[in-house]
Structure 1
Amino acid sequence: MTSIASPPPSSPPVPSAPPAPSATVADAADLSEFGYDQQLHRSLGKFASFAAGFSFVSILTTIFQLFGLGFGFGGPAFFWTWPIVYGGQLLVALCFAEIAAHYPISGAIYQWSRRMGGEVIGWFGGWFMIIAQIVTASAAAIALQVVLPTVWSGFQIIGDDPTLTSTSGASNAVLLGSVLLVAVTIINCVGVNWMSRVNSIGVTCELVGVVAVVLAFFTHAQRGPDVVFDTGLAGEQPGYIWAFIVSGLMAAYVMVGFGSAGELAEETRNPRRVAPRTIRMALTVSAIGGGLMLLGALMAAPSLGDELAAGGMPYVIDSVLGSFWGKVLLCDVAVAIFICTLAIQTACSRLIFSMARDGRLPASKTLAHVNSRTQTPIAPSILVGVLCIGVLVVNVGNSAIFATLASVCIILIYLAYLAVTGPMLYRRLQGWPKGGVAVDSDGRKVFSLGRFGIVVNLLAVVYGALMVVNLAWPRAEVFDPAGEMPILRWAGPICVVATILIGIACFPRGKEHPKPVSTAV
């Protein structure tokens, strides 16, 4: 490849300068080696790539929502599930970083899994991820109901009870979430530059918010950091390890989506170098910031009892910051929810585009069309927005089912990750990567696990399999806490089987792939 100097990274919130024509040509030539033309607008720099992964994880959104889940099961000592899950996910991220350096193509999970495991595994890896991202985007959008009516009662447009489980609260949540989904769909349709600008500004606000929360918690600490060794009420019962394992679901729900930088590879400058770095960075920055938030909340909480389990992070924030500054922070959380939804929808639309471009989905021709003016696939963005709103409507009829769907979709994400790391391990044992370390458009070597590849990959597969079992385990206290629908405790296995069966019906049988790949080394 031609040796070209990399363009300078973009700085938020100022839009990045257009890349040099020669750099664009080099990246397009790199993409053409995989049989694809450069159709998408390649303009994203390092920060924008990082922002895609960081905003998908969105610790300010997810920890705000899920703190009570972890604390309620494991007490303050649930904190240790955070570094444990980070360690496991880092193994996965390292595998993703290496494969992203070899295959910088949109639709990362689909493209990576098919190149490692063949067409069937690749298709189902992409299928699992599409379903999971649609439900995850819906769950992120519905979180506005938890925030906005608290900031201003005028946001409670339907009825007067903002509780998500009430009829008026559920209906209002669907309304607010639908407005949000329409907004992010419009942004995605306008073009990747607008998406990048909004996302970069939002990530900057979220990072500032995380720092502010951590400082506020630590400066109002009522106990020392040794609180993380307190097992709470759960530790007074026999079998605490079981409660500890269940509390780890909180961290497992949060630390996903860090691979989104790979989904935008065809819109990123020098993706062979940038994507691997930002995949690792998005996970690590999220883990550090989230860990400090958890520790600070446990140190600053007025009490470590039922109030904290029920009130979660908002209870601590309100007691530490008071009404005014608490509402300011809630506005920042609302921004985080917005960019989280935007990032998930963007990743999902690029995944659908990548599969449709290969003719692997119904209505592929329409879904693979790239608008000549915006250089973005508009139909997938609209489809994702419509499907997300459809999922939101479930919350009106039964909020327990919606909460269960939001939990189950994380299982599908971990299965999609296994569709990459599992076949990748098999290929390694056969001698992958053949030909040595990949190079970027400058001819420089990019990220590689080298001689540690087999060990890291093996541990990533073992970790992923254990997490799938833990997430899908039929626990009434997780999937049916009210005890009204016992079948919901089996929601994990049922939804996985249903997703596979629907996938079999949609799988393009008897249709030859236009760009077949060989899994031989």
Structure 2
Amino acid sequence: MKFGRVKPLDAILATAKAKSLEPTLGWFQLTLFGIGCVIGTGIFVLTSAGAQKAGPGLMLAFAIAGLICIVAALCYAEIAAMIPVAGSAYTYTYSVMGELLAWTVGWALVLEYAVAASAVAVGWSGYFSGTILNQFFGIELPAWLAGGPLALGGVPGGFINLPAVVIAGLVTWLLMIGTNESAKVNAVLVAIKVTALTVFIVLTLPQSEMANFNPFLPAGVFGGFGSGVGAVGAAATIFFAYVGFDAVSTAAEETKDPQRNVPIGLIGSLGFCTVFYILVAAGAIGTIGGQPIMGPGGVPFPAGSEALAQQCALPQYADMLVCSNEALAHVLRMIGFSTVGNLLGIAAFVALPSVILILLFGQTRIFFVMSRDGLLPESLSKIHPKWKTPYIVTAITGAVVAFAAAFLPVGQLADIANAGTLYAFAMVAVAVMMLRKSEPTRERKFRVPALWLVGPATIAGCIFLFLNLPFEAMIVLPAWGGIGLVIYYLYGYKSSHLGKGIVTVVDLDNDPAHIPHP
């Protein structure tokens, strides 16, 4: 199953050596990178939406998404340790299934990271404007600076979401000046988030009541094809939160001892975050309940819809979990811990930039490797002489994300980002299985146990969640892919280094050299 030109593994490793990023990260930093992205988006942004889709079944939704991510992470761990270069699923696909499919995977990852980073920037802006400026300083940001004209759920009279632009710009600058510096800042932010959520769990679980979990599955397990509701529909949405472990693999080239540290970072961050998700969901639902607001036919109103907003404006629904824009702080206020709730809101405000940081990090590394392969202009992969980072592509990516957060409807696009993510994860599982056949003797510091089961389970799980996304989200992936194919055939196909017969290999002295590839 090969489509187009296949780049040999030795050539991929040699290319990375010839034009490489400086290895500065250890297993602990990698794990924190994963935790930094995973804990944040799902807990602070998607908890209410998940409850509206599944009710108390949100706990099951987290377990479903986590289980699928665990099998995918095992596949990532083997192939990332075997091919420790930047590029994640794009690079892995290039080495096994060919350039055309690799381009489609890279292009899908571009959609995933950009949409997610923009969405979180908008979420951070809400905390900044509503909690920090308004609650603590009594400052009301003018409407024209608080949201873009196209923002979903919109701000009347909005022109630009200035706080979202500022935070995207600051995170971009941080990434440009150095990966190690970014990791240090991220470690502090992760500590704040973990502490805040631990306090939440300690305060809420003892006050949980079993009656709040009944009925456990008010919308059922399966909401139906394209409906996006039920436990599986909620799992398809909150899968957005698990993109963090994928970002860990994009840092493989900048990792010391990647054969050991990448698997630890991948599986460690995912396992830690999945347990946290389930405990926090149990605490939130067990204390104040998490039943969805039902629409016609006993089907929950779509999360983030105007119809749901109208229901939440009614007094009998105003205090429900599904109607809160800051779910966890709301829960604490409802059970008598207002001060702690406000502090948790501050923690979310402080910590969400770490999510943006990791998403931007992953985005720029995908662009960097596609540029290094000639599929995008090579000028994008320039390394700054002092900072040792791909500063040009980082600046461009940051500008695009800031623009989207300022003007476009990105606040509710988690489902769209998931479509690209699920496609990439499935392709990684295929690549691992094919490499076991084509490269059986190559050293593997980490091997997926029972690959005959784990590989197909990953693919089936990704397809399963994709089919449970809202129909509108499902059609975005082929549409975006079509645009990507046009760009590939107009530029990438002709400019590809592999297509020109330029392949980097390692000679007898282990020095990279470019030679024609027959």
| Structure 2 counterparts to residues 241-260 of structure 1, below 5 A | 243-260=230-247
SS of the residue aligned with 2:244? Answer: coil
Structure 2 Cα separation of the partners of residues 490 and 359 of structure 1: 29
The answer to whether the 8 Å contact 2:146/2:162 transfers is: no
Task: Report the CA distance shift for 1:248/1:217 in structure 2 as closer, same or farther (over 3 A).
Answer: same
- Corresponding residue of 2:364: 349
Structure 2 Cα separation of the partners of residues 160 and 31 of structure 1: 48
Q: CA deviation at 1:503?
A: 4.9
Aligned partner of 2:163 among 137, 159, 176: 176
Aligned partner of 1:329 among 344, 355, 360: 344
Aligned partner of 2:43 among 41, 57, 63: 63
- Corresponding residue of 1:166: 154
2:141 is the alignment partner of 1:157: yes
Structure 2 Cα separation of the partners of residues 386 and 276 of structure 1: 32
| Normalised TM-score (structure 2) | 0.80
RMSD between aligned alpha carbons?
3.1
- Corresponding residue of 2:471: 474
The answer to whether the 8 Å contact 1:408/1:495 transfers is: no
- Corresponding residue of 1:371: 384
Q: CA deviation at 1:62?
A: 2.3
Task: Report the CA distance shift for 1:216/1:31 in structure 2 as closer, same or farther (over 3 A).
Answer: farther
The answer to whether the 8 Å contact 1:437/1:448 transfers is: no
**Any idea what the Cα deviations from partners look like across 1:191-223, whole Å, max 9, x if unmatched?**
1121111011111111112211111212333x0
Task: Report the CA distance shift for 1:249/1:359 in structure 2 as closer, same or farther (over 3 A).
Answer: same
Aligned partner of 1:414 among 389, 401, 422: 422
Aligned partner of 2:395 among 382, 385, 394: 382
Letter in 1 for 2:391: I
Task: Report the CA distance shift for 1:234/1:263 in structure 2 as closer, same or farther (over 3 A).
Answer: closer
Aligned partner of 2:283 among 296, 305, 309: 296
Task: Report the CA distance shift for 1:318/1:495 in structure 2 as closer, same or farther (over 3 A).
Answer: farther
- Corresponding residue of 2:205: 218
Task: Report the CA distance shift for 1:244/1:170 in structure 2 as closer, same or farther (over 3 A).
Answer: farther
**Any idea what the Cα deviations from partners look like across 1:265-295, whole Å, max 9, x if unmatched?**
2221111110111111111111011111001
2:48 is the alignment partner of 1:48: no
Q: CA deviation at 1:230?
A: 2.2
Letter in 2 for 1:159: A
SS of the residue aligned with 2:18? Answer: coil
- Corresponding residue of 2:448: 449
Unaligned runs of 5+ in 1: 1-28, 439-445, 480-488
Q: CA deviation at 1:332?
A: 0.9
Task: Report the CA distance shift for 1:283/1:37 in structure 2 as closer, same or farther (over 3 A).
Answer: same
SS of the residue aligned with 1:371? Answer: coil
Aligned length: 455
| Structure 2 counterparts to residues 56-95 of structure 1, below 5 A | 56-57=37-38, 59-95=39-75
**Any idea what the Cα deviations from partners look like across 1:63-116, whole Å, max 9, x if unmatched?**
221112221122212321111111111111000000011100011222111112
Task: Report the CA distance shift for 1:161/1:294 in structure 2 as closer, same or farther (over 3 A).
Answer: farther
The answer to whether the 8 Å contact 2:42/2:238 transfers is: no
- Corresponding residue of 2:458: 460
Structure 1 Cα separation of the partners of residues 154 and 360 of structure 2: 27
Letter in 2 for 1:147: Y
- Corresponding residue of 1:25: none
The answer to whether the 8 Å contact 1:109/1:420 transfers is: yes
| Structure 2 counterparts to residues 244-283 of structure 1, below 5 A | 244-283=231-270
**Any idea what the Cα deviations from partners look like across 1:403-446, whole Å, max 9, x if unmatched?**
45443122012112223222433444xx25421542xxxxxxx2
- Corresponding residue of 1:509: 494
